[in-house]
A and B are shown apart, each in its own frame.
Chain A
Amino acid sequence: MKLKSTRDGYGEALLKLGNENPDVVVLTADLGESTRSHWFKEKFPERFFQIGVAEADMIGTAAGLALSGKIAFVSGFGVFVTGRVWDQLRISVAYSNANVKIGSTHCGITVGADGASHQAIEDIALMRVLPGFTVIVPADALEATRATVAASKIYGPVYLRLGRAPLPIVTEEAEVFTIGKAQLLKEGDDLTVIACGVMVKESLEAAKVLKEKGISARVINLHTIKPIDRKSIINAAKETGAIITAEEHQVMGGMGSAVAEVVMEEYPVPMKRIGILDRFGQSGKPDELMKEYHLTADDIVLEAANILKRK
């Protein structure tokens, strides 16, 4: 199977957008190649701004460009374009409602060998509490491209959570990406697995194994964490009676928490959140780390058996 990272999908989208829209500008803080924004730079050097290793200044500069009519894509590592500059995102971008898009690569533990300092596993939590921010987590490179293009078409701040590791393609080329509309990947009625990012692939694998065991799992790709698709979550709760969430992120405050907020208010059913349990990441190969942190299809299968007992 052909593997491709979501950062590649992002870089390709920037190139496409550069051709289509002269208002698109791109910034980076010494991470042009790693974020794939250098492809844009090669084609549109006058619309590419290298800011040096100065993320706070990069966010403010992007806000200024955006407040002057540009669509400003900021490209950097997840840890450095969220927590490190959270106050800049809060005031210069969100409170000013600047049309800034954060292309946040190297999210999650699949960053691998660089270890905890470079693995953003708190970013969804940090970004979804900022008023006005849209938060998107693409599941594969194709979806990353579509999401990046979609982000350029709405006015206002958007956070795009992207990864470094090459992943299999789980969505269709011709898929239409609608911000805020979850994607139903597989029908099922015993339980629902709601996943985002790399965990979508794991969830699909888990659903196959569960099917062999006679358990019918619905799989939803919740690519937009905010605004959240309340309807498809409520339907899942009503129609399947149990929900497992799976994300490559801290369970506290992440996608699973966002889903739990809806379920708790609208239609409480047994839930289990799979994610990172209040730990930092560490060095290792992506697949080793996914095992170490219990983020595999096997872990989802295990939790499915447990949750069915609680129904």
Chain B
Amino acid sequence: MNIEELQKICLEVRRDIIRMLGEAGSGHPGGSLSAVELVVSLYFSVMRQKPQKPDWEDRDRFVLSKGHCCPLLYAVLARCGYFPLEKLLTLRKLGSPLQGHPHNLEVPGIEASTGSLGQGLSIANGIALAGRLDKKSYRVYCLLGDGETDEGQIWEAAMTANHYHLDNLCAIVDRNRLQIDGETKNIMQLEPYNEKWEAFGWKVIEIDGNNLKEISEAYAQAENIKGKPAVIIAHTIKGKGVSYMENRVEWHGKAPKKEEEEKALKELR
């Protein structure tokens, strides 16, 4: 799929996210919007998948470790054909498969339940190890938040991926520089960040994570790395695409009101 086509899908997905959150009255727009290009690019031009057969053995796997950003994943899955688009507006409602944080038993295409930060990379390691045992060529992708990498378990998992030379694994850090209580640098200093990952044995690829061209090059580069895992440090803008949300910490975890929703949808055209 070419860049213009991907861009169109990104726009639709951003509109989906805003409408879902508006309808739900709650949810996490900032980190959903920042990672749109990263996830759309994966699902529409990188990953091997069969939406009609979500448990296809040879599929590439995606683990959303930062589970609060599931509106993004739900929108992408629906647009790939995993389930009908109409379902999106049931987000966070009683009885909906689209739970406030992802539940693998409810939604086709969700590999593992997440929502408690810090756990997804370990799960991705396990999936990658199983792929190797089974002599499968599938690849495993795992999206992390930058604030999420405050968690010690992430660094345990980083060591494990290196120890087992998991070159079928690619982590992506949404480096939007914000978490709940403020800027990552004020909450918990992550820098020197690339050096941390490198010291843990990873190949680091640093990009503009809202730039589809850089993203697709990064995924291609990651796939060619042998003998070690790759991490894409993707610099993004939290709330990307909606002017009043961009880089604003208060838009981490609240839904737009009706007028705000309309304003956002006007901008996303």
- Docked-complex contact B127 and A68, CB < 8 angstroms: yes
Docked pose: A47 CA to B122 CA in angstroms: 17
Q: A60-B121, A61-B122, A68-B131 known; A95 and B103 CB under 8 Å? A: yes
| Distance between A32 CB and nearest chain B CB, rounded to angstroms | 15
**Which of A49, A91, A97 touches B115 (beta carbons < 8 Å)?**
A91
- Docked-complex contact A54 and B159, CB < 8 angstroms: yes
Question: At the interface, yes or no: B97 with Cβ under 8 Å from chain A?
Answer: no
Stretch from B19-27, B45-53, B149-157, B173-181 contacting the other chain: B149-157
- Docked-complex contact B159 and A64, CB < 8 angstroms: no
- Docked-complex contact B122 and A95, CB < 8 angstroms: no
Question: At the interface, yes or no: B129 with Cβ under 8 Å from chain A?
Answer: yes
Interface residues on B, range: 20 to 34
Interface residues on A, range: 20 to 34
Stretch from B35-43, B105-113, B210-218 contacting the other chain: B105-113
The residue in chain A whose Cβ has the minimal distance to the Cβ of B112 is: A96
- Docked-complex contact B133 and A61, CB < 8 angstroms: no
Question: At the interface, yes or no: A46 with Cβ under 8 Å from chain B?
Answer: yes
**Which of A63, A70, A97 touches B122 (beta carbons < 8 Å)?**
A63
Question: At the interface, yes or no: B86 with Cβ under 8 Å from chain A?
Answer: no
- Docked-complex contact A63 and B129, CB < 8 angstroms: no
5 contacts between A and B (CB under 8 A): A49-B129, A54-B159, A61-B129, A69-B130, A96-B113
Residues of A within 8 A of B123 (CB): 60-61, 63-64, 67, 92
- Docked-complex contact A63 and B156, CB < 8 angstroms: no
Question: At the interface, yes or no: A88 with Cβ under 8 Å from chain B?
Answer: yes
Q: A91-B115, A91-B116 known; A57 and B157 CB under 8 Å? A: yes
Residues of B within 8 A of A62 (CB): 126
**Which of A52, A56, A61 touches B126 (beta carbons < 8 Å)?**
A61
| Distance between B236 CB and nearest chain A CB, rounded to angstroms | 25
**Which of B113, B119, B121, B130 touches A65 (beta carbons < 8 Å)?**
B130
Residues of B within 8 A of A169 (CB): none
- Docked-complex contact A61 and B131, CB < 8 angstroms: no
| Distance between A130 CB and nearest chain B CB, rounded to angstroms | 13
- Docked-complex contact A57 and B129, CB < 8 angstroms: no
Docked pose: A49 CA to B130 CA in angstroms: 11
Chain A interfacial positions (CB closer than 8 Å to B): 25, 46-47, 49, 51-52, 54, 56-70, 72, 87-88, 90-92, 95-98
**Which of A25, A52, A60, A96 touches B104 (beta carbons < 8 Å)?**
A96
- Docked-complex contact B115 and A69, CB < 8 angstroms: no
Question: At the interface, yes or no: B191 with Cβ under 8 Å from chain A?
Answer: no
**Which of B103, B105, B126 touches A66 (beta carbons < 8 Å)?**
B126
Docked pose: A52 CA to B125 CA in angstroms: 14
- Docked-complex contact B152 and A60, CB < 8 angstroms: no
Residues of B within 8 A of A58 (CB): 122
Interface centre among A58, A88, A96 (most CB of B within 10 A): A96
Residues of A within 8 A of B163 (CB): 52
Docked pose: A60 CA to B246 CA in angstroms: 33
Question: At the interface, yes or no: B90 with Cβ under 8 Å from chain A?
Answer: no
Docked pose: A70 CA to B125 CA in angstroms: 13
Residues of A within 8 A of B128 (CB): 64
The residue in chain A whose Cβ has the minimal distance to the Cβ of B129 is: A65
